[in-house]
Structure 1
Amino acid sequence: MKTSFTLTTFLLLSIFTFSQSGTIKGTISNTTSSPILGVNTIIKNTIKGAQTDQDGTFEISNISDGDYILSISYLGYKTKEIPFSITNNGTLDLGDIVLYEGNELLQEIVLDTKRKNKFARKQSAYVSKMPLKNIENSQVYSTITNQLLVSQSVNNFEDALKNAVGVNKLWSSTGRSGDGAGYYSIRGFSVQPQLVNGVAGITNGFINPSNVERVEVIKGPSATLFGSSITSYGGLINIVTKKPHSGTGGSISVAGGSNDFRKLNADVNVSASDKVSFRFNAGYQKDNSFQDYGFKKSVFVAPSISYKVNNKLTLNFAYEASDNEQTNQTFLFFNRSAPLLFNTVEELNYDREKSLTNNDVVIKNITQNYRGEAVYKISDNWSSQSIVAGGLAKSNGFYTYLFNSANSLNFALYAQDTDAKTRTMNLQQNFTGDFKIGDLQNKLLIGVDYLESTIIDQSSGWGYLHSVNAQGDLIFSEPEVNADNLKAILSNLDRNNIETKQNVFGAYISNILNITPSLSAMASLRYDRFEYKGDINDPSDDHQAYDESTFSPKFGIVFQPILNQLSVFANYQNSFSYINPELTAIDDNDPTAGTQLQSFDLEQANQLEFGVKTNLFNNRLEATVNYYNITVDDKVMGFGASKQQDGTVKSNGIELEVNASPVNGLNLRGGFSFNDSEVTKSASRSDLIGLRPAEAGADILYNFWGDYQFTQGFAKNFGFGAGFNGSSDYNTMNDYTTSGGFTLPAYTVFNASIYYENDIFRISVKGNNITDEEYYSGWSTLTPQQNRTFLASFDYKF
């Protein structure tokens, strides 16, 4: 009986196995006939699937007879579905399958935590407003991946940007109206992070990295595709937020550390079907200053949803709201019109442990951003992307600053009761095509965008509270800094009633022509029209209304001696700035002299750049080395009544960035940049000729981070990381030659971590600034940076 049962079981299993012996296979490539590695091929409504190998081939076995649909998807490419049938347990060869590049659809995001080179990302759909591999893009950009942020236990946006080569922090976020986000220098020019998911976004105040999927630092003048309102001559910073994806899961994270740091974050993704995915990300974070007073805290929620209506239409929506509160970080503003009595930190003798503020002197920021997107697949070759985006940022509370008194070592504290908000609304329509004309492959982008911004300011005037020295001692018998004393001096001051509006309309076209599989050329052109309406609450302010239009070109060429592994590139890029007319004093030293209206022409920036990019050893070595030269003409020089549009600024430099994974488990990232920036022409400010502008920051910057996780043996899943970042010294007062200058010292900051991570959880301990280096940032200011801190974190994944 037992033998009979065993024989029957064996026969049934044999029949079952034989009945599922069908096979489907094929080869997947892109429009240049290059095989694509890692493409997901899944038989719909089953668990059967496979990924393509380095030759682009795949094979799925053990398929029973029947009719099926094969779904083929890969990040940056349009999903393709192919019906097929298996009969008589046969093998079906689909032959060559071509994927067409498309928008970065949310449902095509693949969470690949096992990829080798975790600190590199091969392509982006945002940098050129169309999916394009880094190695075939003639523009240089740095991508800070989520895996890198996790490896470094990053909990603030400033630390994230230390991983981008050539980015120098000038100012921390102040939270004040209009320009409250931090300032950074890229290629010799200041910039703020004002791009979220490829469109204008408000980041006034604290940016919570818990909702950041990656950061893209796009280098060089980039107004051709993005306009002038959110870019600088050195580049722009694009924040890519976390989005829904197929599958159900998430994580819960808690962290704590020095200076009473606390963090709690929950990130949950639900995909009830292959049509709808929903993600909800929320968190709380608080961090006290290392000084005697000071703190930052933030609460945020970020729901997002993706709905695949059908095989042609996908709707995506993302929203983020944050409630932030912080004390004003210490900013010592240096006198700009008189010689300083100190030129170094040592001579100033500043006590960096003193914040010169109080914990009830706070500014609050409520920030909201939304982005709705409809992606329509017109055909295999054409797609449409329609975007409606906008945001609201409010600033309420006390904004204070300390200004160095003339011919003195003392600083006067001025305050404002801030009550302001900024609204933006952005409409964008893009059409992308991937097609051939004869034997020439074209990737075409045609788009229009409209950006409207409104700033409403009902803040108080500025009031003086007291004067202190650099050690925090009161100079006179004046009130201490606290909320009650500030309210008393500000309560009787007149309040603003200002509402300014501006709007920008842009139309652009960009085409990448593949002359051969190894040689491509890009040509782009933008038409931009800007309108500034002045203060609409002040009828007498009509004379400040301003409108102007311009064209902005961009060209690039890429040659790949080794296809998809080595490229040589060159580009010409353009940016411009509209300078609003200003009502200024005729004589800064004589208030009775009256005012005058100053109007200006466009500032223009042009860049020439060339370099080399690699993607070698099966994606294990990604590197970029490049040289750039930027010239800005018609630069407005000076301040107030002395403003003249007669300047020329030149900025050139070299950059090197490397992402490597030499062996399994080891990931390395490093960068070095040198920038030479100077004023070369200005009749009104001849004293600045030959000097480096203060906004250019340090001329030498460098960064490195390495992470190694054991993949086998008794230490499997344990890992450690270590790295550093640093800067040369620089004169932060070069724009004010009468000051005598102030030099911020060079520094190198070392960080290290140790962790254990598996598929269920990650636990880590991180040390930042482990040598307790004393270092500073500034832009005609001095701000002490974080001392040594330790952080422990725990992440549970489900």
Structure 2
Amino acid sequence: MKNLLSFLTLLLLSSLAFAQDATIKGAVTDNNNSPLVGVNISIKNTTKGTQTDDNGKFVINSIENGDYTLVISYIGFKTKEVLVSVTDNQNVDLSTIILYEGNEILEEVVLDVDRKNKFSRKTSAYVSKMPLKNIENSQVYNTITNQLLVSQSVNTFEDALKNAAGVTKLWSSTGRSGDGAGYYSSRGFAVQPQLVNGVAGITNGFINPSNIERVEVIKGPSGTLFGSSVTSYGGLINIITKKPYSGTGGEITVSGGSYDFAKFNADVNVSANDKLSFRINSGFQQEHSFQDAGLKKSVFLAPSLTYKINNDVTLNFSYEVSDNEQTNETFLFLNRYGTLAFNSIDDLGYDTNLSFTSNDVTINNLTQNFRGEIAWKITDQWSSQTLISGSSAKSLGYYTYLWNYADYTDLSAIVGTENFALYAQDTDSKTKTINLQQNFTGTFKIGDLENKLLVGADYLDYNIIDNSSNWGYLHTINIDGDLIFGEPEINEENLSAALSGIGNVDSDIRQNIFGAYVSDVINILPSLSVMGSVRYDRFDYQGDRNTDTDDDTEYTESTFSPKFGIVFQPILNELSIFANYQNGFSYVNPEYVTTYDDLGNANTTLESFDVEQANQFEVGAKTNLFNNKLEATLSYYNINVDNKYYWATQTQDLEINSQGIELEVNANPISNLNIHSGFSYNDSEITDSPSARFLEGNRYGESGAEITYNFWADYKFFKNFGVGAGFNGQSKYDTMTDYQAVTGSFYIPAYTIFNASVYYETDKFRVSVKGNNLTDESYYSGWSTITPQQQRVLLGTFTYKF
């Protein structure tokens, strides 16, 4: 019996030994031998996979005998496939696998289940149009990740941008023709979100964040790589949409909350095989205003497709269409030509519950964006990206605004009152763009110097056709909402009658821009790199037909834009010191200018202007410390514009200086705690203005507040339960600074808004409750305007994952 038991034990152990599965392990680095953290390692046609750890190493356990294909992918690097054979249950050590930089192709998706610092993203292929890690990039940019948007239950694009250091809202999206997207201030200059997936896109209506994978706010003049049509001197806003990935799954989200807020979103991804993936994202969202009138409705559909022809060539296509309807938010335009009778919200006595509008006076926007891409890995060192994109936006309906009424009864002293005149336009306009772009990126050595080279060209055709009515007057109201002269109330019928017979704008303006650029990052040492870039642009402006000569107006201009940067890493991949010089530029459309001779006779001519130029010098530091647990950027910038066009005098002689500091921190100090925060101080000044001396010494009007700040922390208890809390705010500022010498000041008050959430999350679902503006504080935005912002809101969200 004893021998039998020994024999059976030996047999069982032998069977277990032979049945034991193998492991596959290895390490992933870039071509500088630097470990890559968070690389996706998956076994094709299986559910097995993992990510590399802080040392770039990975292990996949429980692998049975057989032949496998490992797919190794990382955003900003070319995907690599490795054949692996497991025999006799022997472990396989792949040693070191090298990934080479390349275009960010749509098939790549980040698996973030094991990511610890969830609010950080260390690599982007859009910011420099070549893959550079944040710590080796001499330019500053903020990334608002999808994980942060989910943690905060973000339902508006405005709320998403509150996470960007130094970015503050000036105007909400109006939906009006030409420039209906929202306006935000960055580094002292107004910027609109006009970049989608790295190319020009139109966002003049409500932007639904349900299709946003992340938002990149790229700081400073960025004309060298992106041109002038989508940038400002303070930077640009790049919206990255959700893309297809290998696998089948998705999620369905429903939300509800205060002021009849309701949202439904369905996001489904399907892979027919390892070559073809399709994703469709769609949703509906609506809400009413906290005021006595006001509404927003939005429906969107966003299909996208990726087809892998072979390991070297991938085709990608994405399309998004949204149909939006909204009332105009309350815009109280302060009089720019007479002394204001009030200098603050308290002086004005405005009851923010009054909207001065009606729910049957709305504006509709149908917006479409498409993007097609051919990503070709020519060799391990060289790749090509061919892009074609286009967009269109229609504005139909009524755009209204309220202008601070001036009392002209005393002609010797024009004094502003608390009355506002309502003006309206029956909008009928369309904006269209077509963008072609070709990029080649490569890595090569000249002697011992490694080069990362970008060579590219793009062509943008921009056309605005405006058949809207001319502006019409409806009535005058006081700050209490009472009609002053017994005129008609605001509704669709009365507006239609007021605007009938007053004529149309009848405008057709087209602008063609051709640009070519080259950028080279040279690694002198593993810890020292320099970057040099230059761009050439040619503008072709085709304006409205000249009624006197019956000729089309056409002007051409050209300009060069340089950019330089240097990065030194005292601690490789953990600490860098950087400096940059960046250039931005702006083409100023021709304007009709009226001059007067000595006898007072008027002479009106169409005048062209020089291309504006802005130059920035910046220094700072970036960290990626404690195994990626502390990612921070601190910088000081100084921007000068010496030939700024000023609309009031129609002269190009403004000189502006904008300087400040910015700090952004993404941290994971302890397990399950993630923190995102930012701080900014901006000092903006009009330093010279020969045609309007009263402007000198003033803060530039579109600069917004001097100080802005944001903070959000998310902590997960146990395995499934978590809480989030944070705040954002800004200092007070003078919204009339451009007109201060004539009107006096009007101060938008400082504020701090507190928000918090609680959630329960599993692999299959997530339930959350979120409160925004918990203290129910009244606060405002403005740019020579006053717009009250959202009061306290409670939101509930349920997401089912499959």
Whole-Å Cα distance in 2 between the matches of residues 482 and 272 of structure 1? Answer: 52
What secondary structure sits across from 1:81 in the alignment? strand
Q: How far off its partner does 1:537 sit?
A: 8.7
Q: Which residue of 1 aligns with 2:276?
A: 276
Q: Spell out, residue by residue over 1:564-604, the C-alpha distance to the aligned partner (whole angstroms, 9 max, x if none).
A: 1111100000001111111133369x998352222211111
Summarize the Cα distance change of 1:9–1:794 in structure 2 as closer, same or farther, 3 Å threshold. Answer: farther
Give the letter for the 2:795 counterpart: L
Summarize the Cα distance change of 1:233–1:316 in structure 2 as closer, same or farther, 3 Å threshold. Answer: same
Whole-Å Cα distance in 1 between the matches of residues 594 and 474 of structure 2? Answer: 26
Whole-Å Cα distance in 2 between the matches of residues 687 and 777 of structure 1? Answer: 25
Whole-Å Cα distance in 2 between the matches of residues 765 and 67 of structure 1? Answer: 47
Whole-Å Cα distance in 2 between the matches of residues 15 and 377 of structure 1? Answer: 47
Gaps of 5+ in 2: 407-414
Q: Which residue of 1 aligns with 2:396?
A: 396
Aligned partner (choices 641, 649, 664) of residue 671 of structure 2 = 664
Q: How far off its partner does 1:23 sit?
A: 5.3
Summarize the Cα distance change of 1:173–1:18 in structure 2 as closer, same or farther, 3 Å threshold. Answer: same
Q: Which residue of 2 aligns with 1:649?
A: 656
Summarize the Cα distance change of 1:467–1:10 in structure 2 as closer, same or farther, 3 Å threshold. Answer: farther
Q: Which residue of 2 aligns with 1:731?
A: 734
What secondary structure sits across from 2:633 in the alignment? strand
What secondary structure sits across from 2:147 in the alignment? helix
Aligned partner (choices 732, 750, 765) of residue 769 of structure 2 = 765
Whole-Å Cα distance in 2 between the matches of residues 39 and 317 of structure 1? Answer: 24
Give the letter for the 1:499 counterpart: D
Residue 742 of structure 1 pairs with residue 729 of structure 2: no
Give the letter for the 2:722 counterpart: G
Q: Which residue of 2 aligns with 1:220?
A: 220
Whole-Å Cα distance in 1 between the matches of residues 8 and 366 of structure 2? Answer: 70
Whole-Å Cα distance in 2 between the matches of residues 152 and 547 of structure 1? Answer: 47
Give the letter for the 1:183 counterpart: Y
What secondary structure sits across from 1:510 in the alignment? strand
CA contact (8 A) 1:499 1:537 kept: no
Give the letter for the 2:564 counterpart: F
Whole-Å Cα distance in 1 between the matches of residues 661 and 479 of structure 2? Answer: 38
Q: Which residue of 2 aligns with 1:634?
A: 643
Residue 721 of structure 1 pairs with residue 730 of structure 2: no
Summarize the Cα distance change of 1:141–1:394 in structure 2 as closer, same or farther, 3 Å threshold. Answer: same
Give the letter for the 2:327 counterpart: T
Q: Which residue of 1 aligns with 2:544?
A: 535
Summarize the Cα distance change of 1:39–1:686 in structure 2 as closer, same or farther, 3 Å threshold. Answer: same
Whole-Å Cα distance in 2 between the matches of residues 296 and 282 of structure 1? Answer: 17
Identity level (%): 66
Alignment of 1:10-21 (within 5 A): 14=14, 18=18
Residue 494 of structure 1 pairs with residue 533 of structure 2: no
Whole-Å Cα distance in 2 between the matches of residues 427 and 674 of structure 1? Answer: 38
Q: Spell out, residue by residue over 1:740-785, the C-alpha distance to the aligned partner (whole angstroms, 9 max, x if none).
A: 1211111111111111111111111111111111111110111011
CA contact (8 A) 1:454 1:499 kept: yes
CA contact (8 A) 2:51 2:114 kept: no
Q: Spell out, residue by residue over 1:310-349, the C-alpha distance to the aligned partner (whole angstroms, 9 max, x if none).
A: 1111011000000000011110111111111111111111
Give the letter for the 1:190 counterpart: A
Whole-Å Cα distance in 1 between the matches of residues 459 and 548 of structure 2? Answer: 26
Summarize the Cα distance change of 1:497–1:5 in structure 2 as closer, same or farther, 3 Å threshold. Answer: farther
Alignment of 1:287-366 (within 5 A): 287-366=287-366
Aligned partner (choices 775, 779, 801) of residue 775 of structure 1 = 779
Aligned partner (choices 408, 419, 426) of residue 410 of structure 1 = 419
Q: Which residue of 2 aligns with 1:114?
A: 114
Summarize the Cα distance change of 1:538–1:216 in structure 2 as closer, same or farther, 3 Å threshold. Answer: farther
Q: How far off its partner does 1:75 sit?
A: 2.0
Residue 614 of structure 1 pairs with residue 618 of structure 2: no
Aligned partner (choices 752, 755, 759) of residue 756 of structure 2 = 752
Give the letter for the 1:336 counterpart: R
CA contact (8 A) 1:20 1:63 kept: no
Q: Which residue of 2 aligns with 1:561?
A: 570
Q: Over the residues paired in the alignment, what is the CA RMSD in angstroms?
A: 2.3
Q: Spell out, residue by residue over 1:89-128, the C-alpha distance to the aligned partner (whole angstroms, 9 max, x if none).
A: 5555443321101111122212313311111111111111
Whole-Å Cα distance in 2 between the matches of residues 599 and 624 of structure 1? Answer: 41
Q: Which residue of 1 aligns with 2:710?
A: 703
Alignment of 1:131-150 (within 5 A): 131-150=131-150
Q: How far off its partner does 1:55 sit?
A: 2.5
Q: How far off its partner does 1:257 sit?
A: 0.8
Q: Which residue of 1 aligns with 2:250?
A: 250
Whole-Å Cα distance in 2 between the matches of residues 726 and 541 of structure 1? Answer: 53
Residue 525 of structure 1 pairs with residue 529 of structure 2: no
Summarize the Cα distance change of 1:726–1:33 in structure 2 as closer, same or farther, 3 Å threshold. Answer: same
Q: Which residue of 1 aligns with 2:412?
A: none
Summarize the Cα distance change of 1:47–1:247 in structure 2 as closer, same or farther, 3 Å threshold. Answer: closer
Summarize the Cα distance change of 1:88–1:148 in structure 2 as closer, same or farther, 3 Å threshold. Answer: closer
Aligned partner (choices 415, 424, 441) of residue 433 of structure 2 = 424
What secondary structure sits across from 1:259 in the alignment? coil
Summarize the Cα distance change of 1:429–1:94 in structure 2 as closer, same or farther, 3 Å threshold. Answer: same
Report the TM-score when normalising by structure 1.
0.95
Q: How far off its partner does 1:717 sit?
A: 1.4
Structure 1 stretch 69-78 or stretch 318-327: which is displaced more?
A: 69-78
Give the letter for the 1:602 counterpart: V
Whole-Å Cα distance in 2 between the matches of residues 26 and 290 of structure 1? Answer: 57
Q: How far off its partner does 1:542 sit?
A: 4.2
Whole-Å Cα distance in 2 between the matches of residues 606 and 662 of structure 1? Answer: 37
What secondary structure sits across from 2:360 in the alignment? coil
Q: How far off its partner does 1:498 sit?
A: 1.6
Q: How many residues align?
A: 789
Q: How far off its partner does 1:39 sit?
A: 2.4
Q: Which residue of 1 aligns with 2:410?
A: none
Aligned partner (choices 544, 547, 563) of residue 556 of structure 2 = 547
Aligned partner (choices 463, 471, 481) of residue 472 of structure 1 = 481
Structure 1 stretch 544-553 or stretch 419-428: which is displaced more?
A: 544-553
Summarize the Cα distance change of 1:658–1:334 in structure 2 as closer, same or farther, 3 Å threshold. Answer: same
What secondary structure sits across from 2:430 in the alignment? strand
Whole-Å Cα distance in 2 between the matches of residues 50 and 663 of structure 1? Answer: 22
Q: Which residue of 2 aligns with 1:211?
A: 211
What secondary structure sits across from 2:737 in the alignment? coil
Aligned partner (choices 576, 584, 588) of residue 585 of structure 2 = 576
Q: How far off its partner does 1:5 sit?
A: 14
Whole-Å Cα distance in 1 between the matches of residues 702 and 474 of structure 2? Answer: 29
CA contact (8 A) 1:752 1:766 kept: yes
Summarize the Cα distance change of 1:375–1:785 in structure 2 as closer, same or farther, 3 Å threshold. Answer: same
Q: Which residue of 2 aligns with 1:796?
A: 800
Whole-Å Cα distance in 2 between the matches of residues 79 and 511 of structure 1? Answer: 23
Summarize the Cα distance change of 1:24–1:358 in structure 2 as closer, same or farther, 3 Å threshold. Answer: closer
Whole-Å Cα distance in 1 between the matches of residues 505 and 744 of structure 2? Answer: 36
Summarize the Cα distance change of 1:412–1:423 in structure 2 as closer, same or farther, 3 Å threshold. Answer: same
Report the TM-score when normalising by structure 2.
0.95
Residue 371 of structure 1 pairs with residue 353 of structure 2: no
Q: Which residue of 1 aligns with 2:262?
A: 262
What secondary structure sits across from 1:158 in the alignment? helix
Residue 694 of structure 1 pairs with residue 701 of structure 2: yes
Structure 1 stretch 701-710 or stretch 63-72: which is displaced more?
A: 63-72
Give the letter for the 2:786 counterpart: L
